[in-house]
Structure 1
C-alpha cells in the first residue's frame, strides 16, 4: 500500500503540526527567551605527541569584499562568493588562534585584537577580542603561556599582548617574532600611505614594546622550539612568518595571513589584499606556498578561514581549493 505522500504533502503535514501546537488547549507555552550570546569557542585535538587547542577571537567583518580584495580576478568576486553560498556583499573572516602544548612548553600563536587600543580595538566591530574569555573557557590561563609566537605584527595578531592599561596579559611569556616586522611596525617613519597605518603602528608599539626584554627573533627554516619551524613568507608584512608544527612524522602548517579568504585568494592566489604591505610580493609568496602545501599534503591551520580553520589545500585548475577537515585531525584518543 502506498501513502501517496508528496514532498509538498510532507511539508504541509509539518506545518499543520506546528500550527496545532499553538491552538488553544495545546501544550506549547510562551517561547523561551532569546539568549543573544555566543557559547565559548574552542576546539581541541592531538597532533602527534602534542596537544593543540584552537581558540576563537571572534569574527572579523571586512565589509564590501571589493574594498579589500583587488587586482587579478577581482571582477569575479560576486560570482565566486555567491557560488559558495556566501554573501557577495560582505566578507567576514574568522580569527583562529592556536594554543600548542608540546609537553615542555605552552605556546600561543597570535593574540587577536585584544582591548589595548580602546576604540581602535573595535575598528572591525564588536565581534572581535574574545580570545581571553575563550582561552579561559578552554581551561588555559594567560599566566600559563610560555611563549607567544606571532605570525606578524598586525592589529588582529598582536594587539592582545597587553591590556587597556598597557600591562602584559601574558606575564610569563616570551614573544617569538620576525625581527623585520618588529622594526617596521614600531617605526613612526612608516606612518604613511593607507589611513590605517597610524593606528597599526601605534598599536604595535604599545603591545610589542612591553615585551622588548623577552623577544625571541625567529629565523627562516629554523626551529623556534623543538617541533616548531619558522617559514619566512613576506609580502602581507615585511616579516610575515608561517610555522610548521611537526610531531611523530606529521606536519601541520599554521599559515597566519598567507591567505585571508578560503575562496577568493585560493581560486585566485594572485589576487591582492588591501592590507598587504607589498601586494605583489604577497601574491607571489601565497601562490608559491599554497603550491608547496598542496604538493606536500600537509594539514593547514589558517587564521582567517571558517572556524576552526583546519583543513587541506589542493590544486584546482589555475588555483586551489580549501578542503575543511577538522574531524580528520581531531583525535583525543
Structure 2
C-alpha cells in the first residue's frame, strides 16, 4: 500500500462528510505542554529526569565535522531531522539514593545575563521544572558535574551570583575545574571567553564545598566516576549502581543520537580535543553495546534513556524509558 497527498486529502474529506455526534462547541487551546520531568524507580533508588529545555545548535554540518560533503545533511534528512537546526535536549538527572539527593549537571541557568541565551530562549528551565517535579533546589546535597561547559554548570548560581543549591557540595574533576577557571585559556574559538567567565563565576561560588572526582572511584556510595576526556580535558561520566542494576550517565560523550552514533569518529565543534573525544566515544560505545548497559544521555531525545546496539560500522540508539517502573 502506498500513500500520497491526494489520497490522504481524499480520505480526510470523506471522513469530514460523516455526521459529528455530541457537543459542537469548539474547545479552547490549552496553551501549555506537560511538565518536563520523568520519574522512575532504579533498583532501590528513585530517579527523576529534569529538562533544562531544548538547545538548538543551528546547521548540523557546522557543528559536526569530518564527514564527506553533503553526508551530514543526508544523515539528518534520512532520519526526518532538520539539517538546518540540529536540536539537542538537556536531560539532567536527580537521583535519590535514600542517603543522598544528587543532581547531575545543572543546565544553562541565567547567571551570565545575555550570554545565558547564546543558544536561544528555550534553555535555562531546570529550576522551574525541578520545582514542578516536587524537588526544592535547597534539598539537593550534591551537584555532580560531567564537565564545566555552560549548559552543564551555569545554573549553579543566579544572575546575582547567589547559590541556587545553597546546601549542596559540587563534585567535578580537578582538571576541568582548573582549566575552565583559568583566563589564560581564553583563546581560539569565540565561545571560549564566555565559557570560561561563566564557569569561573559559577564554580568559584562553591570553592569551599568542592569534591574532586577521581577515575574509578566512588563519588558517593552507588555513583562511580569514569574519566572520558576529549570533549573537555576532565569530562567525566558516571556509573550508577543499585544492586544488580547499572545505568551510565553519559554527559556529553555523544551529542547526537544519529550523527555521533552512526559515525562515532566524527568531530564536534565544541570539543576541546576533537580527536581524543572521538576515540573516547568509540571505545565507550563499543563497551556499552557489548555489555547492553542502560544509558542516560544528556543531549539525546527526551528523556534520554536507552541503550546502544551495533549497527553497521556504528551504533543505533534504542530508546527504552519503560525499562524501569514509571512513577510519574
Which interval holds the TM-score relative to the shorter structure? Answer: over 0.9
Q: Over residues 163-221 of structure 1, what are the superposed CA-to-partner deviations in whole Å (9 max), with x where a residue is unaligned?
A: 01000000000000000000000000000000000000000000000000110000001
Q: 1:146 to 1:283 in 2, by over 3 A?
A: same
* 2:253 match: 258
Cα deviation, residue 12, structure 1? 3.1
Tell me how many residue pairs correspond in the alignment.
Answer: 321
Higher-Rg member (1/2): 1
Cα deviation, residue 10, structure 1? 4.6
Out of 46, 53, 60, which is 1:65 matched to? 60
Cα deviation, residue 116, structure 1? 0.3
Q: 1:217 to 1:42 in 2, by over 3 A?
A: same
Q: Over residues 10-54 of structure 1, what are the superposed CA-to-partner deviations in whole Å (9 max), with x where a residue is unaligned?
A: 53332224xx76xxxx9534552461x333200001111111000
Quick one: distance in 1 between partners of 2:204 and 2:93? Answer: 23
* 2:74 match: 79
Please, which moves more after superposition, 134-143 or 74-83? 74-83
Alignment partner of 1:295 is 2:290: yes
Cα deviation, residue 80, structure 1? 1.1
* 2:12 match: 11
Please, which moves more after superposition, 7-16 or 44-53? 7-16
Quick one: distance in 1 between partners of 2:157 and 2:312? Answer: 44
SS at match of 2:57: strand
- Alignment TM-score, normalising by the size of structure 2: 0.94
Matches within 5 A, 1:123-162: 123-162=118-157
Out of 166, 171, 175, which is 2:166 matched to? 171
Quick one: distance in 2 between partners of 1:210 and 1:122? Answer: 21
Greater than 4 Å deviation, 4+ residue runs:
6-10
Q: Over residues 105-145 of structure 1, what are the superposed CA-to-partner deviations in whole Å (9 max), with x where a residue is unaligned?
A: 00000000001001110100000000001000010000000
* 2:35 match: 40
Out of 189, 193, 200, which is 1:205 matched to? 200
Quick one: distance in 2 between partners of 1:100 and 1:304? Answer: 18
CA contact (8 A) 1:98 1:108 kept: yes
Quick one: distance in 2 between partners of 1:120 and 1:325? Answer: 35
* 1:3 match: none
Matches within 5 A, 1:295-314: 295-314=290-309
Quick one: distance in 2 between partners of 1:38 and 1:8? Answer: 29
Cα deviation, residue 76, structure 1? 1.4
SS at match of 1:54: strand
Quick one: distance in 1 between partners of 2:8 and 2:111? Answer: 55
Which segments of 5 or more consecutive residues in structure 1 lack a partner in the other structure? Answer: 1-5
Q: 1:97 to 1:73 in 2, by over 3 A?
A: farther
Matches within 5 A, 1:182-193: 182-193=177-188
Please, which moves more after superposition, 74-83 or 151-160? 74-83
Q: CA RMSD in A?
A: 1.8
